[in-house]
Amino acid sequence: MGASTPASQEQTANTEREGENLSGTGSFASLMARGGSYECTMSIAVQNSESEGTIYISGDQISGHFTSRSNGASYTGRMIVTGGYSYSWSDVLPQGFKSKTTVTAQGGTQVGGFDVNTNTQYDCKPWVADANKFVVPTNITFMEAPGQ
C-alpha cells in the first residue's frame, strides 16, 4: 500500500501543474503546446518597437490586445487567430488584414505579424475560455494579406 501513495501524490501534483500560474520568458507556441486556456499579460521588445498587452489562449485559438510603441509613435492593435485564419487590425488603419495560418497547439508559425515562436516576457493564469474573445468583428473590412 505504501507504494501506491507516491504515485497518487505525483498524479495530484501533475493535475495541479496543469492549472498553475505561469510566468517567465518563452514563446506562446510553448504555452499553446501545454494545452488548456490561459490569460496572459505580455511584453516584448524587438529592434525599435515595444509591445505590451493581454493574450488569451484556448487550444489553437489566440486573441490579443496590444499597445505598441515604435519610433515615438503609439498605437493599439488587436489580433484573433481562429478557424485557420489570423485577423489583425489597429486604430491607425480603416481596415484589417486576414491571412491563412497553421498555428496549432503543437507549435506555431508567424501569424499576422505576430510570431508565436518569439520569446516574450509573460505572466499567465488559468482562464475559463470565453468564446466571445475569438469572434471576428463584422464592422472591420479584412483584406487578404499579400502572398495569400
The per-residue pLDDT string of the chain (148 residues; one tens digit each, 9 = 90 and over) reads 444 444 333 332 223 345 578 888 887 777 777 778 999 999 888 778 888 999 999 988 889 998 988 888 898 999 998 988 889 999 888 799 998 876 544 454 545 455 667 778 889 999 999 999 999 999 999 999 766 5
* Residue recorded with cell 481596415: 95
The helix/strand/coil state of 100 is strand
In a domain, 12, yes or no: no
In a domain, 15, yes or no: no
Host domain of residue 117 = 21-144
CA distance 61 to 38: 11
**13 burial class (0-12, 13-18, 19+ CB within 10 angstroms)?**
exposed
In a domain, 4, yes or no: no
Query: Would you say the pTM of this structure is higher than 0.85?
Result: no
In a domain, 42, yes or no: yes
* Residue recorded with cell 486573441: 63
In a domain, 2, yes or no: no
In a domain, 7, yes or no: no
In a domain, 6, yes or no: no
Tally of domains within the chain:
1
Asked if 62 and 103 touch (Cβ cutoff 8 Å), the reply is yes
